[in-house]
A and B are shown apart, each in its own frame.
Chain A
């Protein structure tokens, strides 16, 4: 029973001040996990009381949030996989807390998105549709936490980067933890825009590039251009052309044709 009481205390502590430094939070969390171990509740068992399950779930959820705040994706993924069996429990055994669950799942989606793991992103999204109580994608989009990464993904795919940019501003982000990803996303969309600009524009004036790339000053633009290897002349950026690769391709083509034809000849021989 003592272990249960410590758990309760830790959770209230974590709940009351979410801005706890990660070192403190993680020491609290490991203490909580130890007591969970004593209670044999690290993973849900068939005859565990629902109050204990609830405690265990909250510990993991707070752990997940804390690790996101500490920018530790590995720890977050670990917490998430520990949470999975709790989420699969029937509602009679453990009362579902949709808001917290959506928050954690939304963060996971965002993490996948920023890491470019689109296949997993969509697999996760697919499983959301069949989740208990959710009536399909409409509900997902209207949800504060889940809708955010879903919309971001769509805009990224379309190329509406300005909307992504707007969505990352203060006030638009559903919760503080989501803001952690803004930095990664910003650099991500910036490099996306840069690579499309290279192909789309023959040249760009520095002033408009600033707004295009969501940079603060023209100095930053020059710095960015240097990193990408663009040439800056008279306040205009010139992009390197991609025409040099043409010669080599030509050679490839004839080689490919020869290879194919030889292949056909060989096949024909085996048939006849």
Chain B
């Protein structure tokens, strides 16, 4: 079928024009000023926006950690359930994902409002009202709520492949539940954990929707800054492109670090 490779040419042209060239333009804008002259100004502007970037990284990391904490046990429970139960839980997990991301986030707006349902219920038992909307906590909650399945799914799909006999072998060799988890399940699930972390961290760090809907514009993330620089009242594509580039590079670095970590675990004769 060697001669069929021409069939890929429309795709190659498409990728070139709509993926490679745009990324090239991001780089070009990042390193030029309004007149088109080469400059490092834009990249150095990162100093101005450092707080937003730092906030994004911290909140993304916290949300990722929470997803891991909440998702790991569920992935484990799912992977050890009967086939039917696995299918049902899988479907229940995916069903909310079919609802638009904005509507899912909107649902939390209505719950967390000062006169929202949660405060309303708490008020009846004499508590509150608590200020929840437009806080960092609300943004993190939104991240966890939206991206939790991205953590569960990869971990589950690795764990599901751990054969029952490995659990029995561990028990047979004297390992109790805790030891089995620590010495067998966790190391074997590591690739899934790493994929999950990437899949939650990337959209969390780069979001602007969640921070605008649940943060009320008061808790800006790097995504909000980029968004304003492109579609706001005073656009500046050059700085926006520079920040996007920085974001992209940061994400690539963290993915590479994660991958390294994963490979190391896999090939090393690890001594625990």
Whether A associates with B in a native complex is no
Binding site for A on B (CB under 8 A): none
